């Protein structure tokens, strides 16, 4: 017999409003710190849903957001999907061409945009690509000067009712969407149904997942444009926890102040963010006494960071996931009894990507197509499946064929599994670079470089970098080598791509090493240049964004 209702997001907010009406939601915005409680939040979410109806937005519309982490963005997390629509979060750090592709592909009817991102959006808003967008709403109380025809959010929802007749939705209804650039080619859309977001929320609520409850004060630093900030706005609401949103481009001082002043107990973000905070703490007194846990994911958590937080009395939880997985897959929690292990064994375990959270299954397939032994030595590609793992990309049949098989997602991560069931990423089958939690497409950079008349071959690889985890370095075979060529090439890339995509260095070589089948062998180059001191250029301080 089926249950009485489908698995949808609405009951999470209903419960928080009714059972935790006074719990706070705190937000650092362009105008300073703003705060209210779940009772007021619920009313504003209803006003937003009414405003969308009254603006003539279709009841199954896809709605884009181009925003950092703040309370208004959080209101769209419930107002959009609970009214039957689909929340499409867009990464503002992408090159304009990707943003145009994404908006056109998703046919967004309305776009919410932050004041500080308005100029970036206006620059990318090619009329053809943005033809579906009938309205722009700026997340604030007024609209800064812009060529876009925009309304401000507070006027948009003003005067609407605090009540809304929430529809009974099917769990198969698309509720969210996020594009991933994690593999080659154009970004691929991943749709999240109501059921995927519900089951991800329930699994991450458990102690085997993130284990949140109503005593927690949750601060997602991971951007809300990256896979719903790892689902934390939903999970924290389901738990009745206090939310703290760090707003536009928070720096370590902003994060430290919010932790101290709001009593944050759990926070989450990519390693670069925490390296920045720890560095800031070398010269500044920061009281981390409220902080119980830092969730680190998006890239491997450096053991040094885990150890440093331990010394400060803060537990690090290393997590692995993907856009295709809503996103959380595994967490490196120690099993019962492992607490007694000696230091080095415990740290080695916690530095792994960990154990799959309950509800997911995985297998690891080697090059011969066989499943590997769980001996911590053999490795192969990680395949996963489960209720919150997608089985297809939005309108991309050719990519589906490559990345999915019989309901399994082929992750492109190459892993070993130890006898305790902990996975460890040892390599990446995907030809991409992840810098500060953001993807850089090596193929696009190679094409840009090879467009230069004096370049006969070019390949771009990610080399390890202490702060950004990886930075791109170009290897070029030039038909005519001259001193100015390197600068010309870097300028060429900089014309079409954001600054943080520009390689840290260009190295001239006689020939790009090839595999037996004639493909560029990046593995060889990566190994040869794995020592970052060999690379002349260094990423400028602000080169890569800090997100995931």
| Residue 462 C-beta: closest distance to ligand AMP, Å | 11
Q: Which is nearer to ligand AMP, 20 or 471 (CB)?
A: 471
Q: Is 495 helix (H, G, I), strand (E, B) or coil?
A: helix
Q: Which is nearer to ligand AMP, 246 or 297 (CB)?
A: 297
Q: Which is nearer to ligand AMP, 240 or 436 (CB)?
A: 436
What CA dihedral angle connects 396, 397, 402 and 403, to 10 degrees?
60
Q: To which H or E segment does residue 145 belong? A: none
Told to judge if 324 belongs to the known catalytic residues of this protein, a careful annotator would answer yes
Q: What is d(CA 328, CA 320) in angstroms, rounded to the nearest whole number? A: 6
Q: Which is nearer to ligand AMP, 35 or 396 (CB)?
A: 396
Q: Is 390 helix (H, G, I), strand (E, B) or coil?
A: coil
| Residue 323 C-beta: closest distance to ligand AMP, Å | 3
Q: What is d(CA 392, CA 402) in angstroms, rounded to the nearest whole number? A: 10
Q: Which is nearer to ligand AMP, 217 or 322 (CB)?
A: 322
| Residue 509 C-beta: closest distance to ligand AMP, Å | 27
Please list the helix, strand and coil fractions of the chain in percent, rounded to the nearest 5, in that order: 30, 25, 40
Q: What is d(CA 486, CA 495) in angstroms, rounded to the nearest whole number? A: 14
Told to judge if 439 belongs to the known catalytic residues of this protein, a careful annotator would answer yes
| Residue 305 C-beta: closest distance to ligand AMP, Å | 12
| Residue 47 C-beta: closest distance to ligand AMP, Å | 32
Q: Which is nearer to ligand AMP, 423 or 476 (CB)?
A: 423
Q: What is d(CA 408, CA 391) in angstroms, rounded to the nearest whole number? A: 7
Residue among 242, 434, 486, 522 flagged as catalytic = 434
By C-alpha distance, which of 182, 210, 209, 461 is closest to 299?
182
Give residue 37's Cα distance to chain centre. 26
Comparing every residue's Cβ against ligand AMP, the nearest one is 323
| Residue 301 C-beta: closest distance to ligand AMP, Å | 6
Buried-exposed string 467-482: b where 16+ CB fall within 10 A, e elsewhere? bbbbbbbbbbbbeeee
Q: What is d(CA 548, CA 99) in angstroms, rounded to the nearest whole number? A: 17
Told to judge if 515 belongs to the known catalytic residues of this protein, a careful annotator would answer no
By C-alpha distance, which of 5, 17, 7 is closest to 162?
17
Q: Which is nearer to ligand AMP, 425 or 477 (CB)?
A: 425
* CB distance 79 to 137 below 8 Å: no
| Residue 413 C-beta: closest distance to ligand AMP, Å | 5
Contacts 24+ apart (CB under 8 A), 163-169: 163/46, 164/45, 164/46, 164/49, 164/50, 164/83, 166/10, 166/49, 166/82, 166/83, 167/59, 167/83, 167/84, 168/5, 169/6, 169/8, 169/10, 169/82, 169/84, 169/194
In order of 41, 119, 301, 409, the CA distances from 399 in angstroms are: 39, 33, 29, 11
Interface positions with ligand AMP (CB under 6 A): 180, 182, 227, 297-300, 318-323, 327, 353, 411-413, 425, 428, 434
Q: Which is nearer to ligand AMP, 13 or 332 (CB)?
A: 332
| Residue 89 C-beta: closest distance to ligand AMP, Å | 12
In order of 195, 210, 363, 548, the CA distances from 386 in angstroms are: 12, 18, 12, 22
Residue among 8, 29, 65, 180 flagged as catalytic = 180
Residue among 17, 24, 191, 324 flagged as catalytic = 324
Catalytic positions, please?
180, 324, 434, 439
């Amino acid at each position: 017999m089926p249950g009485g209702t489908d698995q949808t997001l609405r009951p999470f907010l209903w419960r928080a409003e009714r059972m935790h009406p006074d719990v706070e939601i705190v937000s650092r915005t362009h105008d300073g710190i703003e705060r209210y409680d779940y009772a007021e939040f619920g009313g504003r979410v209803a006003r937003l849903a009414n405003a969308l109806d009254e603006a003539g937005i279709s009841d199954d519309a896809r709605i884009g957001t181009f925003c950092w982490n703040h309370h208004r963005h959080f209101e769209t997390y419930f107002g959009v999907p609970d009214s039957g629509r689909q929340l499409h979060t867009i990464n503002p750090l992408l090159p304009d061409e990707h943003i145009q592709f994404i908006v056109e592909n998703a046919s967004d009817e309305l776009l919410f945009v932050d004041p500080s991102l308005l100029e970036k959006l206006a620059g990318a808003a090619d009329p053809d690509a943005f033809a579906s967008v009938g309205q722009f709403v700026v997340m604030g109380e007024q609209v800064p000067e812009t060529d876009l025809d925009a309304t401000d959010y507070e006027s948009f929802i003003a005067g609407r009712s605090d009540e809304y007749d929430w529809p009974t939705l099917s769990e198969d209804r698309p509720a969210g969407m996020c594009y991933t650039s994690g593999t080659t080619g154009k970004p691929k859309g991943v749709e999240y149904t109501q059921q995927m977001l519900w089951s991800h929320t329930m699994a991450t609520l458990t102690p085997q997942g993130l284990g949140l409850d109503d005593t927690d004060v949750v601060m997602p630093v991971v951007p809300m444009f990256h896979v719903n900030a790892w689902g934390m706005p939903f999970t924290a609401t389901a738990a009745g926890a206090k939310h703290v949103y760090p707003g536009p481009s928070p720096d370590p001082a902003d994060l430290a102040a919010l932790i101290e002043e709001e009593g944050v107990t759990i926070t989450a973000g990519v390693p670069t963010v925490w390296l920045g905070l720890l560095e800031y703490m070398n010269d500044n007194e920061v009281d981390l006494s409220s902080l119980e846990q830092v969730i680190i994911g998006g890239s491997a958590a450096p053991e040094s960071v885990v150890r440093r937080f331990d010394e400060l009395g803060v537990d690090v939880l290393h997590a692995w996931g993907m856009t295709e997985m809503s996103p959380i897959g595994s967490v490196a929690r120690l099993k019962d009894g492992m607490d007694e292990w000696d230091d080095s064994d415990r740290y080695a375990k916690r530095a792994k990507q960990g154990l799959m959270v309950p509800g997911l299954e995985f297998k690891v397939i080697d090059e011969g197509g066989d499943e590997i032994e769980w001996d911590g030595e053999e490795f192969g590609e990680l395949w996963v499946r489960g209720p919150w793992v997608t089985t297809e990309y939005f309108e991309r049949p050719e990519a589906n064929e490559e990345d999915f098989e019989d309901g399994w997602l082929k992750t492109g991560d190459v892993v070993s599994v130890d006898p305790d069931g902990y996975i460890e990423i040892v390599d990446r089958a995907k030809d991409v670079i992840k810098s500060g939690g953001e993807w850089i497409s090596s193929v696009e950079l190679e094409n840009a470089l090879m467009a230069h008349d004096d370049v006969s071959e070019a390949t771009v690889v990610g080399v390890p970098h202490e702060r950004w985890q990886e930075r791109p370095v170009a290897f070029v075979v030039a038909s005519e080598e001259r001193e100015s060529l390197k600068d010309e090439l870097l300028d060429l890339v900089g014309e079409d791509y954001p600054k943080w995509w520009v390689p840290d260095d260009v190295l001239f070589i006689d020939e790009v090493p090839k595999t037996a089948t004639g493909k560029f062998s990046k593995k060889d180059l990566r190994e040869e240049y794995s020592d970052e001191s060999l690379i002349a250029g260094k990423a400028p301080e602000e080169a890569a964004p800090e997100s995931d």
